[in-house]
Amino acid sequence: MPSSTIRSISITVSDDDGAAAPRRTRAGRRKVVRSLGQRAVRLVARWWPILLLLPAVALLLFEASRLRASPSPAPPVSSSLGRLDPTTRLVHGVREPCLKVLSPKSIENLVFHEGSGLDGVVKRIIYKTDDDDYDSHHSEANSTYLLQHAEATRFNLFTGFQTVPEREESFKVNETVSVHCGFYSDNGGFKISDDDVRYMRTCKVVVSTCAFGGGDDLYQPIGMVNSSIGKVCYVAFWDAVTLSTQEAEGKLTGDNEMIGRWRIIVVKNLPFVDQRLNGKIPKMLTHRLFPEASYSIWVDSKYQFRRDPIGVLEALLWRTNSTFAISEHGARTNIYDEGKAIVQKHKATPEEVEVQLTQYRQDGMPDEKRLHGLKALAEASIIVRELTPLTNHFMCAWFNEVVRFTSRDQLSFPYVLWRLNMPGINMFPVCTRRDLVNSLGHTRKDIWNTTWYPKAADHVTTEKTWYVVDAEDKILGRLASAIAVHMRGKNEPTYTPSVDMGAFVIVVNAEKVAVSGKKRSQKLYKRHSGRPGGMKEETFDQLQKRIPERIIEHAVRGMLPKGRLGRRLFTHLKVYKGSEHPHVAQKPVPLPIRDKRIMKSG
């Protein structure tokens, strides 16, 4: 048998190998866990903002789904809406109605009064317009406290620019009086369509209200008899904001521009920034808006009128032989106490009220609770009047005071009453006012929390105002600033920076514009031909002799926005060297410049 070599491998076998394997496995697991933990910490440190944001987004989506699923709450319905029950009061222990209106049958048989029979002193009123000498209104040197305030008031092309002597003259009661009473210029604003103007001329008795800026709802009148429906016009004045707000709520005007009993008249180009002041126009100047009307009843927009208008005229005017009826104030009796209350309720600033009351003290306004036998303070949310020259004169003077001072008409009514001493005023008690209307309060809509942003279509070029200004002896910088303000439309209540809504401005006598200090020799105008060494410099004097129009154009251009809008606005500027211009057909009006420093002194 052959021999062979057997190779062998020695393997060491130990009893400890069975315990070492689990230890290695556990160590590996711990290493993996540590590495995963470190990786998780790094990921959290890197992406922690997203980890916080995801739960917040999930919560917002959950709340939004809940809001969509829940039905929107119905608007609260006032318990006062639609009430016709009479308001009563105790008289000698017996309860009587506050307003004793005739029965419906008696109202139907009532003979319509064409006049009260009162022979007023005022027979004829001349309303001042821009045909008067504009410059004479501003050239009078008057440094009184009142005129200083008047320079900062809201007088404009709608109101006219009433001076201190004209204000004093307006309180004189003569057979013929000449007063400012709104609608001073065709370019003053408060534009109404021709169809609406024709409709208003047909009204003999008018019940009016207004809501500007998207305010109160429109409440339908109730309680009228059938015979009055054809005799009375119910007119509500709105602006574009209110119209769009009401349309969004489903209140649409038909082909006849009616909503229920109300004829809706949309006013364009409101003349004031303050909507309260815009509301004084239909409230106080009814005789200007309805020239053929004999009687008017003003109802604040927070009320629902609930009595027959002819019956109200009979009870408050004809029966008492009055021409003007207004409610007494229910809380205060003194004009100076009313001023304090206005400040406390933040209806006006303390400075505004103090200016007005200081002027009234200087004029000798007494601190009394009664004036000419009547309660001194009135609540002017309802005004019933016959449109006579005397009451029209009263309302014009009242409107001018509201424009000159604060918009709180209750503060100026006692002063006008004291100055004019108008006869035939019926100041009825508060309970009578409560019987005339259902009070629902002012509605605060979502529109007050939003900004109405006009579009370019809201300002067409054909409606733009044309102004003319004489540059002779006017300081260049201040003149250019005033021109730019009107070219951009910053004087308009609806001014919008991105929209061309300004006016055209014509400048004459550009060769006579002035500058202050040593600018005639030190101010330089540079231009470049675009070629090397093509820089040219000229002083103010040199350029004024060569091309004077370029000086004003350069100054105004720098105050306009840059870009496409600025280039378009610049085309509204028309500058001429001499005193003549070819734009007479546009009927330009003088540019209202209120800065007295614009004229060169000396």
pLDDT tens per residue, range 148-200: 333 345 888 899 999 999 999 999 999 999 999 999 988 888 999 999 999 99
Identify the three-state secondary structure at position 508: strand
Q: What is the pLDDT of residues 509-560, one digit of tens each?
A: 999 999 998 999 999 999 888 899 889 999 999 999 999 999 999 999 999 9
Write out 538-567 in H/E/C secondary structure.
Answer: EEHHHHHHHCHHHHHHHHHHCCCCCCHHHH
- The C-alpha atoms of residue 190 and residue 285 are separated, in whole angstroms, by 12
- The C-alpha atoms of residue 106 and residue 123 are separated, in whole angstroms, by 33
Nearest to 128 by CA among 169, 173, 86: 169
What would the two tokens of residue 17 be? 């190998």
Instruction: Give the mean model confidence (pLDDT) for residues 443-452.
Output: 52
Q: Are strands 466-470 and 504-508 parallel, antiparallel or unpaired?
A: parallel
- At residue 300, what are phi and psi to the nearest 5 degrees? -65, 150
The overall longest dimension of the chain from CA atoms, in Å, is 167
Window from 72-76, 114-118, 209-213, 420-424 with minimum mean pLDDT: 72-76
Over its C-alpha atoms, the chain yields an Rg (Å, rounded) of 37
> What confidence score (pLDDT) does residue 447 get?
46
CB 509 within 8 A of CB 476: no
Q: Does pLDDT of 74 surpass 60?
A: no
DSSP 52-104: HHHHHHHHHHHHHHHHHHSPPPPPPPPTTTT--PPPEEEETTEEEESS-PPPH
- The C-alpha atoms of residue 329 and residue 341 are separated, in whole angstroms, by 13
Q: Does pLDDT of 441 surpass 80?
A: no
- At residue 295, what are phi and psi to the nearest 5 degrees? -140, 150
What single letter denotes the amino acid at residue 510? A
* Residue 601 pLDDT grade (very low, low, confident, very high; cuts 50, 70, 90): low
Average per-residue pLDDT for the chain = 83
* Residue 371 pLDDT grade (very low, low, confident, very high; cuts 50, 70, 90): confident
> What confidence score (pLDDT) does residue 334 get?
82
Q: Which carries the bigger pLDDT value, residue 110 or residue 143?
A: 110
- Give Cβ neighbours of residue 31 (< 8 Å, ≥ 6 apart): none
> What confidence score (pLDDT) does residue 554 get?
95
- The C-alpha atoms of residue 593 and residue 157 are separated, in whole angstroms, by 12
What would the two tokens of residue 552 be? 């004003």
- The C-alpha atoms of residue 325 and residue 240 are separated, in whole angstroms, by 32
Q: Would you tell me how many other CB atoms lie within 10 Å of the CB of residue 516?
A: 13
- The C-alpha atoms of residue 555 and residue 559 are separated, in whole angstroms, by 7
Q: Does pLDDT of 446 surpass 50?
A: no
In sequence order, what are the beta bridge partners of 574? 506
> What confidence score (pLDDT) does residue 476 get?
93
* E strands in 376-482: 378-386, 425-428, 437-439, 466-470
Q: What percent of the chain has pLDDT over 70?
A: 82
CA 579 to chain CA mean position, Å: 37
Q: What is the pLDDT of residues 386-424, one digit of tens each?
A: 999 999 999 999 999 999 999 999 999 999 999 999 999
Alpha helices, DSSP H only, in 201-239?
Answer: 226-229
Identify the three-state secondary structure at position 386: strand
> What confidence score (pLDDT) does residue 22 get?
58
Q: What is the pLDDT of residues 266-295, one digit of tens each?
A: 999 899 988 899 999 999 999 999 999 999
Q: What percent of the chain has pLDDT over 90?
A: 50
- The C-alpha atoms of residue 226 and residue 243 are separated, in whole angstroms, by 29
Identify the three-state secondary structure at position 415: helix
Q: At what angle do helices 350-362 and 409-420 cross, to 10 degrees?
A: 10
Q: Which DSSP category does 317 fall into?
A: I
Q: What is the pLDDT of residues 41-55, one digit of tens each?
A: 888 788 878 878 888
Q: Does pLDDT of 135 surpass 60?
A: no
Nearest to 546 by CA among 520, 577, 518, 580: 577
- The C-alpha atoms of residue 293 and residue 282 are separated, in whole angstroms, by 14
